[in-house]
């Protein structure tokens, strides 16, 4: 035996023989454990704390109890709120309130999630677990658009999580879905615009053309994206066999458009398609603040029923542009209130120019990276009275402000335009044009919309009493991202604001979205309880 081992053994033996030495060792151990607990408690108290999201008031930014659904028709994955299955007072499952159906936001196919054959496919999962920085507002003030955890003003034992909309010493007004701000005591309201990094993360899905269902179109359902041409003429745009991409093949002699119309198949159409029966194609509708998350069907008495939807005009279009010849131009167009908001990009120089119909003094220009052959990811948005353009996820800087001041209200134009006409309306709210001999392909068309903050102006909810709110020192106004289903400052009975003393901290990171009970390898699901859902871990924006 080595001297080191003998020495260690002797030390241990002497400790057990000497009561005072044993007491010191025990004391050091207890002190170490106590200090560890104290440090952990201090970290939880002053630095960070974990919270569980119980409801869907912040969906889709944060998920409460929900079901993950993969549409059996188009393959789109979406979530539907299942908070109605749980009694929040007792945290017990309510069997009578089990969800019955869910509707896909892409193809609008309704799946029976309560059918015995489907029930095991669509389990309910608990809400996201998030880390909250409790120290953030000790060193800096809360910023508009932060996601904040706070104590509910009408019950300080209950924690809420919402997005910060109004700051101290401001007047806040929600008008046509947007947030307007004025100094306290003033009626000079100005729109509050989301920073680009916040806007990019809060846009909500309308329709992603990668999830088009070919068999639906082959049965007689008009595709939502179509080439448009003047009556009696053929469009130079060619549509792929799967209806997901469009190509000009260098055959454009004049400006030629593909346009989106909100053509929504209903249950009757789906039933006719599945049984091979003829059906009446739908008419185009306006884009509304539809949330698939809120569209789960529950038995009577389990939820308040569907919330009336309002038209939304703030839109964003993403697409992939494949430039095959450096000539001509591509035009991205978003329509709101009958006005055309456009971004035209010269494919030989990469020069971009913004325009608004009827506004001659609005013509910001910029240089982009589109000056060579190849593929480019484009995003064009018209949100909060501002036009923004991204190329390959880089925000483009224009030589003049891209904000505008009109109109003060959103009145959608419902007149259906004739194919080939330049003056589109809100019933054909998005278009992409090839001009000047452009030889391009367009694919991955993804239409999204802004959050629409329902207000008294919309006349859809008798509980809304708020027209404008005055915030004093240390008072904050909060709203949920899931505007139709959020209990927030618009609805609270006793006060519409949150005092600074009730703020807990800033939401930072979703560290544990719901786990899986399997590990998927090469399309095989291997049983593995509590496998982490790594892809859904994310920072909160």
Q: In CATH, what number is assigned to the domain containing residue 365?
A: 2.60.120.560
pLDDT score for 463: 76
Domain presence at residue 133: no
Residue 329 lies in a domain: yes
Residue-wise pLDDT tens digits, 306-348: 567 899 999 999 999 999 999 999 999 999 999 999 999 999 9
Q: For residue 336, what is the DSSP state? A: E
Is the model's pLDDT at 88 over the cut of 90? no
Determine the Cα angle at 264 with ends 261 and 269, to 5°. Answer: 135
Q: Within a domain: residue 15?
A: yes
Confidence of residue 9 (pLDDT cuts 50, 70, 90): very low
470 located within any domain: no
| Phi, then psi, of 85 in degrees rounded to 5 | -80, -10
**pLDDT tens column, 445-487:** 999 999 999 998 887 877 776 788 999 999 999 999 999 999 9
How many Å apart are CA 522 and CA 460, to the nearest integer? Answer: 48
Range with top average pLDDT, 224-233, 324-333, 523-532: 324-333
The whole-number average pLDDT for the span 51-69 is 94
Residue 439: pLDDT band with limits 50, 70, 90: very high
Other Cβ atoms less than 10 A from the Cβ of 395: the count is 12
- Per-residue confidence band for 11, with pLDDT thresholds at 50, 70 and 90: very low
Give the Cα separation of 256 and 437 in Å (integer): 10
Average pLDDT over residues 112-131: 87
pLDDT at 371 over 50: yes
Query: Is 322 in contact with 374 (CB distance < 8 Å)?
Result: yes
pLDDT value at 40 more than 50 = no
- Residue spans of alpha helices (H) in 409-522: none
- The mean-pLDDT minimum among 9-13, 217-221, 239-243, 380-384 falls in 9-13
Which of the four pLDDT bands, split at 50, 70 and 90, describes residue 89? low
The phi, psi pair for 506, rounded to 5°, reads -100, 130
Evaluated on CA atoms 59, 61, 64, 66, the torsion sign reads: positive
Q: Note whether 460 and 134 are within 8 A (CB).
A: no
With cut-offs at 50, 70 and 90, classify the pLDDT of residue 29: low
Distance CA 67, CA 86 (A): 13
Question: What pLDDT, on the 0 to 100 scale, is given for residue 46?
Answer: 47
CA dihedral 277, 281, 285, 289 (to 10 degrees): 20
Cα(497)–Cα(476) distance, integer angstroms: 5
Mean pLDDT on 10-22: 42
Of the ranges 48-62, 326-340, 422-436, 455-469, which one carries the lowest mean pLDDT score?
455-469
Mean pLDDT across 109-129: 88
Q: What is the pLDDT of residue 7?
A: 40
Looking at residue 119, what is its pLDDT? 77
- In a domain, residue 372? The reply is yes
Tokens 């509708």 map to which residue?
285
**Mean pLDDT on 293-301:** 80
Q: Is the previous residue joined to 407 through a cis bond, with omega within 30 degrees of 0?
A: yes
Q: What is the mean pLDDT of residues 189-193?
A: 96
Confidence check: pLDDT of 27 > 70: no
For residue 493, being part of any structural domain is answered with no
High-pLDDT (> 70) share of the chain, %: 88
Question: pLDDT tens, 251-260?
Answer: 777 899 999 9
Give me the pLDDT at residue 10, please: 37
Looking at residue 19, its pLDDT comes to 47
154-168 tens-digit pLDDT: 998 999 999 999 999
pLDDT score recorded for residue 94: 62
| Cα-to-chain-centroid distance, residue 396 | 22
Residue 426 placed within a domain: yes
> What does the pLDDT read at residue 420?
73
Q: How many domains does the chain divide into?
A: 2
Q: Of 401, 434, 449, which marks where a domain is finished?
A: 449
CA distance 56 to 37: 34
Does residue 241 lie within any of the structural domains?
A: yes
pLDDT of residue 303 exceeding 70: no
What SS3 class is residue 122?
coil
d(CA 483, CA 490): 10
How distant is the alpha carbon of residue 320 from its chain centre? 20
pLDDT band of 95, cuts 50, 70, 90? low
pLDDT of residue 417: 74
Q: Binning pLDDT at 50, 70 and 90, where does residue 39 land?
A: very low
| Under 8 Å between Cβ of 203 and 448 | yes
Does the structure show a pLDDT above 60 at 3? no
In this model, does residue 136 exceed pLDDT 50? yes
Q: Is 483 exposed, middle or buried (0-12, 13-18, 19+ CB in 10 A)?
A: buried
What pLDDT does residue 12 have? Answer: 36
381-417 tens-digit pLDDT = 999 999 999 999 999 999 999 999 877 778 888 887 7
pLDDT of residue 93: 59
Question: 494 or 430: whose pLDDT is higher?
Answer: 430
Domain extent, residue 380, equals 222-274+311-449
Residue 411's pLDDT is what? 84
The answer on pLDDT for 250 being more than 80 is no
Mean pLDDT of the chain: 87
Q: How far apart are CA 94 and CA 446, in angstroms?
A: 38
Cis preceding linkage at 60, omega within 30 = yes
- Would the CA dihedral through 270, 276, 281, 284 be positive or negative? positive
CB 417 within 8 A of CB 428: yes
pLDDT score, position 407: 74
Global confidence as pTM: 0.88
């Amino acid at each position: 035996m080595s001297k080191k081992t003998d020495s260690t053994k002797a030390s241990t033996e002497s400790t057990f023989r000497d009561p005072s030495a044993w007491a010191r060792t025990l004391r050091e151990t207890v002190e170490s454990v106590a200090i560890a607990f104290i440090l952990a408690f201090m970290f939880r108290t002053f630095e960070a704390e974990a919270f569980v999201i119980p409801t869907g008031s912040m969906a889709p930014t944060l998920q409460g109890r929900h079901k993950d659904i993969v549409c059996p028709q188009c393959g789109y994955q979406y979530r539907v709120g299942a908070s109605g299955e749980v009694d929040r007072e007792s945290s017990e499952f309510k069997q009578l309130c089990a969800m019955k159906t869910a509707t896909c936001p892409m193809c609008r196919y309704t799946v029976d999630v309560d059918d015995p054959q489907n029930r095991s496919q669509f389990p309910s999962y608990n809400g996201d677990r998030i880390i909250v920085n409790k120290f953030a507002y000790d060193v800096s003030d809360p910023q508009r658009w932060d996601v904040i955890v706070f104590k509910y003003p009408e019950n300080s034992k209950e924690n809420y999580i919402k997005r910060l909309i109004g700051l101290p010493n401001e007047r806040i007004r929600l008008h046509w879905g947007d947030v307007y701000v004025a100094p306290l005591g003033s009626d000079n309201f100005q729109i509050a615009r989301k920073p680009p990094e916040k806007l990019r993360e809060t846009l909500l899905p309308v329709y992603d053309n990668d999830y088009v269902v070919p068999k639906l179109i082959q049965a007689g359902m008009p595709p939502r994206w179509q080439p448009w041409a003047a009556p009696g003429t053929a469009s130079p745009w060619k549509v792929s066999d799967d209806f997901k991409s469009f190509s000009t093949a260098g055959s454009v002699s004049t400006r030629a458009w593909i346009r989106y119309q909100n053509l929504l198949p209903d249950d009757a159409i789906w039933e006719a398609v599945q049984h091979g029966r003829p059906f009446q194609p739908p008419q185009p509708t306006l884009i509304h603040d539809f949330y698939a998350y809120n569209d789960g069907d529950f038995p009577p008495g389990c939820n308040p029923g569907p919330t009336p939807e309002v038209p939304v005009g703030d839109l964003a279009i993403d697409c992939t542009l494949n430039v095959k010849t450096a000539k001509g131009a591509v035009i991205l167009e978003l329509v709101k209130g009958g006005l055309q908001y456009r971004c035209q990009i010269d494919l030989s120089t990469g020069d971009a120019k913004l325009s608004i119909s009827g506004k001659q003094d609005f013509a910001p220009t910029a240089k982009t990276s589109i000056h060579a052959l190849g593929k480019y990811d484009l995003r064009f948005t018209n949100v909060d009275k501002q036009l923004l353009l991204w190329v390959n996820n880089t925000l483009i800087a224009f030589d003049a402000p891209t904000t505008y001041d009109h109109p003060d209200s959103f009145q959608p134009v419902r007149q259906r335009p004739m194919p080939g006409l330049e003056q589109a309306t809100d019933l054909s709210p998005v278009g992409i044009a090839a001009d000047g001999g452009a030889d391009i392909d367009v694919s991955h068309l993804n239409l999204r919309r802004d959050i629409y903050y329902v207000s008294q102006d919309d006349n859809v909810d008798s509980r809304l009493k708020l027209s404008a709110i005055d915030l004093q020192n240390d008072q904050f106004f909060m709203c949920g991202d899931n505007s139709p289903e959020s209990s927030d400052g618009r609805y609270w009975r006793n006060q519409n604001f949150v005092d600074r003393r009730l703020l807990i901290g800033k939401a930072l990171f979703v560290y544990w979205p719901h786990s899986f009970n399997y590990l998927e390898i090469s399309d095989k699901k291997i049983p593995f309880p509590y496998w982490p859902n790594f892809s859904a871990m994310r920072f909160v924006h």
